[in-house]
């Protein structure tokens, strides 16, 4: 398995926007770990957060449009110029059609990571046909909750891994929804995932450095 990923989605939490996004990014960059730490920042914060040394920063969304008459869309080349080193797409809070994902992938450089989110095994299988770098399975009903997907529905993790690898063995699988601590991360990896995607477990934590250290403690 390649280096495990800890992907933290900043969303639009007040604790992870503007100056708070910079502070959170700095705390993530300071974690001593062999894991691959990824901050998923708002488009407004890409430039600032991506300037933090030692931190990989992804966009929360991109649109398959070129530079031109596309008011309000998140155009990929500008995002890259402003520091995006990858992106998530099709998050449960920002769903898109499969052809959006396909067309976006066609516009991006080959070495630009794209993590497509899936609500279930069937959607993960369909996304795997497109060949994104990562697929993150996140049951929507568990997102932001107190119970990790690894506890509430471990089969969806292992079944997604099996389905994705059957379609395209090069696609790496992450899992998310309710992930809070190092045991959740370790369990995800034991189920075949190669990392986790989480948000509120970090962004709403009272002790962010402690939570970040705990997340990587069993890797």
Q: What is the rounded CA–CA span in Å between residue 62 and residue 105?
A: 10
Query: What pLDDT is recorded for position 153?
Result: 85
Give residues with Cβ within 8 angstroms of 219, minimum separation 6. Answer: 4, 33, 34, 35, 182, 185, 186, 189
Q: What pLDDT, on a 0 to 100 scale, did the predictor assign at position 215?
A: 97
Cβ–Cβ < 8 Å for 138, 197: yes
Domain count, the chain: 1
pLDDT, position 123: 98
Residues spanned by the domain of 199 = 5-215
Q: Which of 138, 141, 166, 194 is catalytic?
A: 138
pLDDT of residue 145: 77
Please tell me the predicted confidence (pLDDT) of residue 41.
98
pLDDT at 36: 97
> Across the strands, what pairs with 134?
115, 172
- CATH no. for residue 209? 3.20.20.70
Integer distance in angstroms from the first to the last C-alpha of the chain? 12
What is the structure's pLDDT at 1?
62
Model pTM score:
0.95
Which residue among 61, 91, 123, 194 is the active-site one?
91
> What gap in Å lies between CA 38 and CA 43, rounded to an integer?
15
Where the chain has pLDDT below 50, the residues are: none
* pLDDT at residue 31, rounded to an integer: 97
Q: Is 138 a catalytic residue?
A: yes
Closest Cα to residue 156, out of 187, 186, 183? 187
Least Cα distance to 96 among 69, 65, 133, 141 occurs for: 65
Reported as a single tens digit per residue, the pLDDT across 165-218 is: 999 999 999 998 888 999 999 999 999 999 999 999 999 999 999 999 999 999
* Helix ranges, the chain (H): 19-29, 46-50, 76-81, 98-107, 121-128, 149-152, 154-167, 182-190, 200-203, 208-215
Q: Is 61 a catalytic residue?
A: no
Q: What pLDDT does residue 140 have?
A: 84
């Amino acid at each position: 398995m390649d280096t495990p990923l800890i992907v933290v989605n900043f969303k639009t939490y007040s604790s992870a926007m503007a100056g708070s996004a910079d502070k959170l990014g700095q705390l993530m960059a300071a974690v001593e770990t062999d894991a691959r730490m990824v901050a998923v920042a708002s488009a407004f914060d890409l430039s600032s957060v991506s300037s933090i040394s030692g931190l990989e920063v992804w966009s929360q969304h991109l649109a398959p449009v070129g530079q031109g008459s596309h008011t309000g869309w998140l155009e990929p080349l500008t995002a890259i110029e402003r520091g995006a080193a990858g992106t998530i797409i099709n998050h449960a809070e920002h769903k898109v059609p499969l052809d959006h994902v396909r067309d976006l992938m066609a516009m991006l450089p080959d070495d630009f990571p794209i993590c497509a989110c899936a609500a279930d095994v069937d959607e993960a299988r369909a996304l795997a046909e497109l060949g994104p770098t990562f697929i993150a399975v996140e049951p929507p009903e568990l997102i932001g909750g107190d119970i990790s997907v690894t506890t509430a529905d471990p089969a969806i993790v292992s079944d997604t891994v099996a389905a994705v690898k059957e379609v395209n063995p090069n696609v790496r699988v992450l899992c998310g929804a309710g992930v809070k601590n190092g045991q959740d991360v370790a369990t995800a990896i034991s189920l075949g995932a190669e990392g986790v995607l989480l948000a509120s477990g970090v962004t709403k934590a009272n002790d962010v450095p402690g939570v970040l250290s705990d997340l990587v403690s069993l890797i």
